[in-house]
Amino acid sequence: MATKNLSEQEIIRREKLKELKKLGIDPYPAALFPVNINARHIKQVYQKDAEQAEFKDVCIAGRILSIRDMGKASFAVLQDSTGKVQLYVRKDDICDGDDKTMYDILWKKLIDIGDIMGVKGYVFTTKTGETSIHVTELTLLAKSLHPLPIVKEKDGETFDEVTDAEFRYRQRYADLIVNPHVKETFLKRTKMINAIRNFLNEKGALEVDTPVLQNIPGGAAARPFITHHNALDIPFYLRIANELYLKRLIVGGFDWVYEFSRNFRNEGMDRTHNPEFTVLEFYVAYKDYLWMMETTEQMLEKTALEVNGSTKVVSGKNEIDFKAPYKRISMYNAIKEFTGIDITDKDEAMLREVCKDLAIHLDTSMGKGKIIDEIFSEKCQHHFVQPTFIIDYPVEMSPLTKKHRSKPGLVERFELIANGQEVANAYSELNDPIEQRERFEEQAKLMARGDEEAMFVDQDFLRSLEYGMPPTSGIGFGIDRLCMLMTNQSSIQDVLFFPQMRPEKIFDESAFNAGKSLSE
């Protein structure tokens, strides 16, 4: 059995663990610890010389980040979920009579940076003006066996901040400890999702759940992950989108449904793509894509205000304003503006020649729709920094979208682009079952050409449309990308707690083999 080699520090900490047990001290006690205050409240509310009863008998718990030994006394920094507070630990205060075990052995020799401690005492202000806790009782709540990276601070400034992406993404738990500001990104993410959910609920929308395991991966053009159900002895796919199930609910009589769904696409990884990601999709009966643009503007303006207190957000070097209304431009006009080429009446062969002139690489599996998408992505998309609706797509790009009511060859679709990346994708939904079958059949031909992202023919969805689906508008938002904009993060990995990564080279072989045997 292969196990990871222990560092000197890890060996020393395990020896301390043994010593604690010999002293009869449980390094991982199960008893309740009665926390009654947090670091943020102490730092923000405590006033020197004021009569504040709540600070005379405090009980707080957290992780020890530093210890400064001064002989018979010491200062330490404790960090809880809200911030940091200084501790003042004096030998005579935490030891009973002649028994100096608690200070000389436990505190000075067996406690390490990273250990989780429970502290009781009272709040005071030191001679240097630092709000601190005078400790009267210490309790070890969890012994840390793995040393934390050392981060130095002075006068409120951080030095030697841990910035290594490999460490931060793989060991997010340690990243959150040593880089506590990272928490703010994820707190804002939750605030953003709650703001969106509140907006939709106030409008009368119904939140629903739809299957993650699907017989057919539908609702998007993407390569799926495939798995196998042993009892049924059939393949299942992890969903690439929840669109077709939400439309089934519109057929069933719901007027407005939404879902925050975890989707999975077997594609490359970069700063805006992760194989597992979060999408919000909602569908509304008796509406079209023009109504959806206005609703999108309202929702994002309100969300930005609730998350950041302003419609303006900073993303890298750009300031982006989510205040409505947003610019609208057709896809063909965008391509013409940034390439000088009008592709309106060009067929697939002509578009391939255009791509040669523009030095855009194509493969033989790409049909007309994907070629146009490639031109836009390569030559146009990055120019749209402020929120912009790219509207009226070619029909070949949009197999689930209703044809444009006045522009032949186009469909009623828009994508919202902000800071050069797609944030949302919306349609006036195709509800003609005959035409939808024809569109699926065209996708099947692309799949036969080798397009691994072409859509499957979903017979059950077609059957649902045959019962009749009212005119409907639907939209999907990339929640992770929207969070990147709202929190000024340049990589999707920075807004995911645990992004997918290659397995580590050092691992417990027995655990790996156990997992392997379960899957066999």
Mind listing the pLDDT tens digit for each residue in 329-352?
999 999 999 999 999 989 999 999
What pLDDT, on the 0 to 100 scale, is given for residue 514? Answer: 46
Q: Would you place residue 276 in the very low, low, confident or very high pLDDT band (cuts 50, 70, 90)?
A: very high
What pLDDT, on the 0 to 100 scale, is given for residue 453? Answer: 77
Q: Nearest 5 degrees, angle CA 232-CA 235-CA 239?
A: 120
Q: Would you place residue 512 in the very low, low, confident or very high pLDDT band (cuts 50, 70, 90)?
A: very low
d(CA 172, CA 149): 13
Tens digits of residue pLDDT in 8-47: 999 999 999 999 999 999 999 998 999 999 999 999 999 9
Tens digits of residue pLDDT in 480-490: 999 999 999 99
Q: Is-same-fold flag (9-148; 182-326+386-495)?
A: no
Q: At what angle do helices 331-339 and 368-379 cross, to 10 degrees?
A: 50
Sheet holding 421-428, edge to edge: 206-207, 256-264, 276-285, 472-478, 421-428, 410-418, 388-394, 327-330
Phi, psi of 413 (to 5 degrees): -140, 150
Amino acid making up residue 245: Y
Mean pLDDT of all residues in 44-51: 92
Tens digits of residue pLDDT in 421-437: 999 999 999 999 999 99
Three-state SS at 19: helix
Looking only at the bridges linking them, the beta strands covering 83-90 and 116-125 are unpaired
CB 384 within 8 A of CB 376: no
Was domain 9-148 assigned CATH 2.40.50.140? yes
Q: At what angle do helices 459-466 and 243-251 cross, to 10 degrees?
A: 30
What pLDDT, on the 0 to 100 scale, is given for residue 517? Answer: 45
Amino acid making up residue 244: L
What pLDDT, on the 0 to 100 scale, is given for residue 396? Answer: 85
Q: Which of 8-17, 154-163, 498-507 has the lowest mean pLDDT?
A: 154-163
Amino acid making up residue 261: S
Domain boundaries, the chain: 9-148, 182-326+386-495
Tens digits of residue pLDDT in 109-118: 999 999 999 9
Tens digits of residue pLDDT in 311-331: 999 999 999 999 999 999 999
What pLDDT, on the 0 to 100 scale, is given for residue 424? Answer: 97
Was domain 182-326+386-495 assigned CATH 3.30.930.10? yes
pLDDT of residue 196 exceeding 50, the answer is: yes
Tens digits of residue pLDDT in 90-103: 988 887 655 666 78
